[in-house]
Structures are given as C-alpha cells and as structure tokens.
Amino acid sequence: MIDETAVIHPSSIIEEGAVIGARVTIGPFCFVGANVEIGEGTVLKSHVVVNGHTRIGKDNTLYQFATVGEANQDLKYAGEPTRVEVGDRNSIRESVTIHRGTTQADGVTRVGSDNLLMVNAHIAHDCVIGDRCILANNATLGGHVTVDDFAIIGGMTAVHQFCIIGAHAMVGGCSGVAQDVPPFVIAQGNHATPFGINLVGLQRRGFSKEGLHAIRNAYKILYRSGKTLDEAKPEIADIAREHPEVQPFYDFFARSTRGLIR
C-alpha cells in the first residue's frame, strides 16, 4: 500500500506488499522490498535498499547507498524471516548497513530514535541501539552489541560481538572494544581502556554538579582505588543510594557479560 501523498521516483522499485506512509519521498534508483513498512515523512535520497521484514518509523533520512534489512553475515543464518526495526528522526548517512537479526536472539535488530549514523557505519545482526546515539564514520558493531542512549562511538572503531556500551559513554576513534564500557566512561585504545568520565557530555545534558561529583567518585572507586569489582560494588551502591545519577553505573555490573574494560 502506497499513500497517495508519497512521492516516488519512477526509476525506483517498490515491491507489491510494501507499506509506504504519508509524505514519504523515495528518490531515484531505490529498492523497497515486499515486507517493508516506511513511516510518514521518511526520505530515501537515492540508491537506497530497504529489504526483508523491516519497519522504519517517521521522519528518518536515508542517504545514498544505505542498506537496511538485508540478510546478515552470520554463517548460521538460513534465511529465516528475522527483522529490523528503526525508530524516528534518524539520520542514516551514506553507505550505512543495518542487517536483520538472527534466531539466536529474538530475531530483531533494533535502532531507536534521533540517532546519527555517519558514513559507512555498520550495525550487525541483533544489535540494539538506543536513542540519541552517534556512530561516527566507519564505526563497526559486531553481532548482538548493545549501545545505550546518548553513547558516542568514534570513527574507525570496532566493537566486539555481545559487548555493551553504556549510556553517555564515549569511545574514541580507532579503538578496539573487546569488553563492556560502563555508563559515563570515556574509553580509548586497542584494546580500549578507561580514561575518565564524559564530563563535557554530561554537562551538556544537564547533570548537576553534585551528580557529576558522585559519578566521578564512583569511577575512582572502580578504577583508581586498587579494589576488585566485588570490593568496589558495596561502596558504589552506597553512593547510588544517595545520588540516583550513579544508579545506572551500579546496575551496569549486573548487565555485563564480557567483563568491564579495565
């Protein structure tokens, strides 16, 4: 079904069964598969491929040569009808690839809303990207990676399968991330190690001075006190009870499956 207000260039191919919402614009030489749904106001610039069981929300912009919903690169994938779900107001720049999920997880690769995915970024199968994240040029996520809200991943950085990048974390360019990066932390290097908290980013997002001080104290307990993780946890829990801003930092310990960067 194609809404009557959609504008589609005659050189593009829209397979029967695709759902094209109101005010969608599809430029030249695009391909939209039969099981795709594109929400109102979304723009496909040109030479964009949206395939598979894919749902794209409202007011997104997909630039030339972006590919969303294609078959993933997992050798165990056998063509199952897995999915991609993309939220609203994302900027998906040139040559970005977002691959469909696998049956190893819940079968869905998810991208939230208000994200900037820069040129040639790759989001592999079963990844979960939150809201207001930035993946810079050539950032590469392995399968099953989770990137929480407001996280930034620098250019030419690769993230290992199953890693978690916490909220408000910032991973510098040309890094290799092989373990989980806690919220608020700046990480850099190959393999990535911690370099303090993302102070400027947190200030821009309205964190109070007291909250920032508490987060910094929690970071120091974890990374500069010489304590093991088990020794640090109770002290960080005490800070979190007094300062709710620290709670995501403490909760992250239970989420981590690959171990924290150290």
Span 8-63, pLDDT tens digits:
999 999 999 999 999 999 999 999 999 999 999 999 999 999 999 999 999 999 99
The verdict on whether 87 is a catalytic residue reads no
Span 66-111, pLDDT tens digits:
999 999 999 999 999 999 999 999 999 999 999 999 999 999 999 9
The verdict on whether 206 is a catalytic residue reads no
Q: Quick check: helix, strand or coil at residue 167?
A: coil
Q: Look at the alpha carbons of 89, 4, 95, 112 in this order and tell me if their dihedral is positive or negative.
A: positive
The verdict on whether 243 is a catalytic residue reads no
Which of 125, 144, 160, 243 is labelled catalytic? Answer: 125
Q: Who's near 49: CB < 8 A, 6+ residues apart? A: 30, 31, 66, 67, 68, 70
Which of 88, 126, 148, 180 is labelled catalytic? Answer: 126
Which of 41, 112, 143, 172 is labelled catalytic? Answer: 143
Region of 249 (left: φ > 0; alpha: ψ -120 to 50; beta: rest) is alpha
Confidence of residue 193 (pLDDT cuts 50, 70, 90): very high
Report pLDDT for 53.
98
Region of 149 (left: φ > 0; alpha: ψ -120 to 50; beta: rest) is beta
